[in-house]
């Protein structure tokens, strides 16, 4: 087990740079999610409005927690970095209640599984923020799944559900980053994360499999996803 690191002075330049990259990426994901769910409020049925507004507020609070940590660590604001990344790599906006539910199910769920790999991070302040976010995110992981399954089983979305599923499955999987990279190996060796992205992807697919089956969906071929994936993911339903 790697030694705990309490402040920047105890880090190598390589370690410090990885922590900065992680904070910037997490801030981007939190703010992108807040924007996406905020854009989709116009499609939310009344009975789910309170939940979605609460979810947006939670994403914003998580962004603020990461931004505060970033400022303490670097002395700079993270917002310009995040805004630039959002302009160059914007997250798609959901354009229906069905698509918003699919995004909540797969984008939010992917981010949750990705974060869990850092909940024992050797940099103690980062670990504390991530553990807080994971704990709060865990409270609503089943809601997006519930909404998607109910809507898919209604028969009202048979013409769009598979397309939306494949779109947001890919976006959810991208949360984990490329498997087998030197950065993955460095992070594991230095106790920043637990496992390679490949293992996270496999767990994520296994986790959503029951809902995929219940919704009458099928996993696309790996080639159709057009991204780097481990060869041993079980795509069966």
Cβ-based neighbours of 59, under 8 Å, separated by 6 or more:
30, 31, 33, 34, 37
Cβ-based neighbours of 171, under 8 Å, separated by 6 or more:
91, 92, 103, 106, 107, 110
Domain of 204: which CATH number?
1.20.1260.10
Residue at 235 is within a domain: no
pLDDT tens-digit profile of 28-68? 999 999 999 999 999 999 999 998 999 899 999 999 999 99
Residue at 2 is within a domain: no
Q: What's the domain count of the chain?
A: 1
Q: Which domain holds residue 124?
A: 8-225
Residue at 154 is within a domain: yes
* pLDDT given for residue 108 in this prediction: 87
pTM metric for this prediction: 0.91
Kindly state the DSSP code that residue 180 receives in the 8-state scheme.
T
Count other Cβ atoms within 10 Å, centred on residue 231.
7
Can you tell me the distance from the alpha carbon of 226 to that of 68, in angstroms, rounded to the nearest whole number? 35
Count other Cβ atoms within 10 Å, centred on residue 205.
21
Can you tell me the distance from the alpha carbon of 18 to that of 12, in angstroms, rounded to the nearest whole number? 10
Residue at 99 is within a domain: yes
Tokens representing 216 are 């009458």
Residue at 233 is within a domain: no
> Is 80 exceeded by the pLDDT of residue 139?
no
Can you tell me the distance from the alpha carbon of 141 to that of 153, in angstroms, rounded to the nearest whole number? 19
Residue at 230 is within a domain: no
* pLDDT given for residue 142 in this prediction: 80
CA distance between the termini of the chain: 37
Residue at 43 is within a domain: yes
Can you tell me the distance from the alpha carbon of 2 to that of 186, in angstroms, rounded to the nearest whole number? 12
Residue at 75 is within a domain: yes
> Is 60 exceeded by the pLDDT of residue 1?
no
Q: Which is nearest to 10 in space by CA: 130, 118, 122? A: 122
């Amino acid at each position: 087990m790697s030694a705990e690191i309490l402040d920047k002075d105890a880090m190598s330049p390589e370690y410090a740079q990885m922590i900065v990259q992680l904070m910037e990426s997490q801030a981007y994901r939190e703010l992108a999610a807040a924007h996406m769910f905020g854009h989709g409020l116009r499609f939310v049925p009344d009975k789910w409005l309170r939940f979605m507004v609460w979810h947006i507020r939670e994403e914003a609070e998580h962004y603020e927690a990461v931004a505060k940590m970033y400022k303490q660590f670097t002395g700079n604001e993270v917002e310009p970095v995040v805004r630039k990344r959002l302009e160059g790599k914007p997250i798609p906006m959901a354009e229906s209640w069905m698509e918003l539910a699919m995004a909540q199910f797969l984008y939010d769920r992917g981010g949750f599984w990705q974060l869990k790999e850092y909940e024992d991070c050797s940099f103690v302040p980062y670990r504390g923020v991530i553990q807080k976010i994971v704990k709060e995110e865990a409270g609503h992981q089943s809601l997006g799944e519930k909404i998607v399954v109910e809507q898919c089983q209604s028969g009202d979305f048979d013409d769009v559900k598979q397309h939306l599923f494949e779109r947001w499955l890919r976006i959810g999987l991208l949360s984990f980053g490329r498997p087998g990279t030197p950065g993955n190996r460095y992070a594991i060796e230095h106790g920043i994360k637990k496992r390679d992205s490949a293992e996270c992807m496999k767990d994520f697919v296994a986790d959503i499999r029951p809902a995929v089956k219940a919704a009458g969906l099928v996993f696309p071929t790996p080639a159709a996803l057009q991204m780097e994936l481990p060869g041993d993911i079980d795509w069966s339903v």
